């Protein structure tokens, strides 16, 4: 079995860690007792490969280094080197270089005090930037970095082209200063009385507080999928959409037209896990991003963003009555309507690795159920307008 997944940062990475744990366990419990494995209970369809297509629209160039937060979150988390408490970067990190950089740049009047690159993490960005400066691709850099981490998946950037999410805000809400990110991709995004902020500046520096008038995944419209991405999605037996941010993470991956086209074309069941539980994002500030698109923070509204690609939708029991879609009458099934994906309920708060493994197993079970039913006709023919509007 070949599994392909799209991913953002921490939410996607933790789901994927659960997926690998679930795949490492026998599918059913032996009748001979805990720990024993009956030959007939071993999963008859072993997993050949898991390919992860990572979001690169959060990427930012700082101090001349290309930083790829979402690819790194997946790589560190699956490679056992992430700082799980903080949610990003390396475990056991220090910040001596950042401190010294701060002293140099404060003297120049441009303190970069809102985005910290740790000492260990810096090595990752140096290696990546060196590959890129030598004319290599982000795919090649990612492959090289993953050789050190052995994440247990094939990690691919969504594209080798430069794509960056920018958030257009009211100019009166944010004063420009020397610590702002400058990016050539911001050109032309802001109209009169507006300012385009690099996503990291809006998210990390301003905590997503300045209301977003628009969110633009700049460069996506002209970008092509990185080598292997289309093949992984069209050749997969199952495609999973983890509980990542549906706008700036999975929305950005799907903003690359060839990626969305591959998902629309794949014969594999596409199953998503809701990032919204009880009307609130499970982590991060996804509600601020959804608001910019005019989309309510509900599991049903997020499913609508994926309506042209989604066959199965895992929601929390708290959201099941309102989740829409089609139920199949199975245990834990929360759907009721006629159209849309097959909806199933499963507690989605991912507090422990065991929760992540259980949720991943439930998503694979739902994919299996989708496979036995003919649900592809429930997908919509056109790309949902709110997601289409992200492409710039």
Ligand X SMILES: O=c1nc2n(C[C@H](O)[C@H](O)[C@H](O)CO)c3cc(O)ccc3cc-2c(=O)[nH]1
Q: Which of 4, 5, 72, 151 binds ligand X (CB under 6 A)?
A: 72
Query: In the beta sheet, which residues pair with residue 239?
Result: 4, 270
Query: 54 phi and psi, to 5 degrees?
Result: -95, 150
Which range of residues in 65-73, 298-306, 321-329, 374-382 is near ligand X by CB under 6 A?
Answer: 65-73
- Nearest-10 Cα torsion for 76, 316, 335, 296: -80
Binding mask of the shown chain, residues 22 to 61, with x at each position contacting ligand X by CB under 6 A:
------------------------------------x---
Which range of residues in 187-195, 200-208, 301-309, 357-365 is near ligand X by CB under 6 A?
Answer: 200-208
CB contact at 8 A, 123 and 96: no
Q: Which of 4, 67, 190, 238 binds ligand X (CB under 6 A)?
A: 67
Tell me the CB-side half-sphere exposure of residue 74, using CA atoms within 13 A: 33
Element (H, E) at 96: helix 96-107
Could you tell me the smallest distance in angstroms from the CB atom of residue 244 to ligand X?
8
Could you tell me the smallest distance in angstroms from the CB atom of residue 205 to ligand X?
9
3-state secondary structure of 356: helix
Measuring CA to CA, which residue among 160, 288, 310, 170 is closest to residue 229? 160
Residue 93 lies near ligand X (rule: CB under 6 A)? no
Estimate the share of the chain in helix, then strand, then coil, as percent rounded to the nearest 5: 40, 15, 45
Q: Which of 89, 243, 246, 251 binds ligand X (CB under 6 A)?
A: 89
Could you tell me the smallest distance in angstroms from the CB atom of residue 275 to ligand X?
12
Which range of residues in 44-52, 186-194, 197-205, 290-298 is near ligand X by CB under 6 A?
Answer: 197-205
Residue 69 lies near ligand X (rule: CB under 6 A)? yes
Residue 112 lies near ligand X (rule: CB under 6 A)? no
Number of helices (H), then strands (E), in the chain? 13, 14
Q: Which is nearer to ligand X, 117 or 310 (CB)?
A: 117
Residue 65: burial class (beta carbons within 10 Å; 0-12, 13-18, 19+): middle
- Specify the DSSP class assigned to residue 205: I
Q: Which of 117, 233, 293, 359 binds ligand X (CB under 6 A)?
A: 117
CA 28 to chain centre: 29
Could you tell me the smallest distance in angstroms from the CB atom of residue 180 to ligand X?
15
Site residues, ligand X (CB under 6 A): 8-9, 58, 67, 69-70, 72, 88-89, 115-117, 121, 200, 203-204
């Amino acid at each position: 079995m070949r599994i392909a997944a799209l991913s953002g940062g921490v939410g996607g990475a933790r789901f994927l860690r659960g997926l690998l744990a679930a795949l490492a366990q026998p599918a059913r419990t032996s009748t001979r007792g805990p720990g024993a494995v009956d030959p007939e209970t071993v999963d008859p369809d072993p997993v050949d490969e898991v390919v992860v297509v990572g979001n690169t629209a959060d990427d930012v160039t700082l101090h001349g280094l290309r930083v790829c937060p979402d690819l790194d979150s997946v790589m560190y988390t699956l490679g056992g080197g992430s700082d799980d408490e903080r949610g990003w970067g390396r475990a056991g990190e220090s910040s001596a270089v950042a401190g010294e950089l701060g002293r140099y740049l404060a003297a120049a009047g441009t303190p970069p005090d809102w985005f910290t690159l740790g000492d260990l993490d810096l090595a990752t960005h140096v290696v990546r930037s060196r590959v890129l400066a030598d004319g290599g691709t982000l795919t090649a850099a990612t492959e090289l970095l993953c050789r050190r981490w052995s994440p247990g998946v094939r990690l691919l950037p969504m594209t080798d082209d430069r794509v960056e999410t920018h958030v257009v805000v009211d100019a009166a809400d944010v004063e420009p200063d020397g610590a702002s990110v400058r990016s050539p991709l911001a050109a032309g995004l802001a109209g009169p009385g507006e300012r385009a902020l690099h996503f990291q500046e809006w998210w990390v520096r301003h905590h997503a507080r300045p209301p977003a008038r628009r969110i633009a995944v700049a460069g996506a419209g002209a970008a092509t999928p990185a080598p292997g991405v289309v093949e992984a999605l069209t050749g997969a037996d199952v495609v999973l959409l983890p509980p990542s941010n549906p706008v700036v993470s999975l929305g950005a991956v799907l903003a690359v037209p060839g990626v969305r086209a591959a998902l629309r074309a794949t014969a594999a069941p596409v199953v998503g896990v809701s990032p919204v539980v009880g009307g609130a994002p499970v982590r991060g500030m996804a509600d601020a991003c959804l608001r910019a698109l005019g989309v309510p923070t509900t599991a049903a509204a997020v499913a609508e963003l994926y309506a042209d690609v989604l066959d199965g939708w895992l929601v929390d029991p708290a959201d099941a009555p309102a989740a829409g879609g089609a139920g199949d009458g199975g245990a834990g099934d929360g759907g009721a309507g006629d159209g849309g994906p097959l909806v199933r309920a499963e507690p989605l708060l991912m507090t422990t690795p065991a929760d992540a493994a259980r949720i991943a197993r439930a998503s694979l079970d739902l994919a299996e159920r989708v496979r036995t039913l003919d649900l592809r006709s429930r997908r919509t023919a056109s790309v949902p307008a709110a997601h289409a509007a992200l492409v710039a």
